[in-house]
Structure 1
Amino acid sequence: MQLQKGSLAPLFTLKDHDGKAVSLQDFKGRKVLVYFYPKADTPGCTKQACALRDAWQQLKDAGVTVLGISPDTVAQQKKFADKFGLNFALLADEDHATAEAYDVWVEKSMYGKTYFGVLRSSFLIGEDGKVIEAWYKISPEDTAPKALAAAGA
């Protein structure tokens, strides 16, 4: 079931691109943009991550911490972060349990084949742990501007 404005954000603890455990609870009392992307270092995901990197100071000024999540391994996340100089944590959701909790692990199809993967989505979570805004099927270009607008920046 998709999360709605006012829903309690599902808690998670995942390893970041440096192998350090990061929990949503670590950010209690702060706004967090949790964004899910299908695969590190692919065109759309790179465009999205670089746009968030470039908007990082504006997001920080609006009191927003950015966390990117994909089913990639810690090593893949590290390579992606280093290659593009990403200035926020990328989290490895290898068993896609967090993606499932946020209802972004969905059936997809390409060239007649069906498979499961991440639906590119973003969630602005408030200081109280509740969803301020949820954007399912968001475009890479819209992630940063929509988060900034919802954060009141």
Structure 2
Amino acid sequence: MIVMGIDPGLAITGYGVLEKNGNRVVPLDYDSIVTSAKTMTPAERLETIHLRVGDLLDRYRPSHLAIEKLFFSRNVTSAMGVSEVRGVIILAAQQRGVPVSEYTPTQVKMAITGSGKADKLQMQEMIRRLLGLSEIPKPDDVADGLSVALCHIHVLR
């Protein structure tokens, strides 16, 4: 089974693609999609994210896509941008018949560390250890994308 996890963001969208074979989970790919407000219009940024996610879905053909749910934000403008990004990601999955599951940050933290109050560094270190990585993935959004994918794998057990 292959699961793609995504931490949506307009400036940086982190993603991770994991393959589960028996009890073993192996990272196939993890990185970020970066867009710039200085050189791109909002529509161009959304299009870039939609196309890149579509390319990843076509390349890895995951059986599931897991995405972080938007939680309450004090910055309404930022929340609106993230909502739009979530929309184009969910659309890319829907166009390819890939089911989408959504998880709150607390659900992801519980699945990875056993504590819904784990801090960012605890989460990153657990992802590094659980996936056998030599270092913590950077930027933070990439580790978050891997965390959402691993959360979904744990939920499916």
- Bigger proportion of residues as helix: 2
- Bigger proportion of residues as strand: 1
Fold-level similarity (TM above 0.5): no
TM-score (norm 1): 0.30
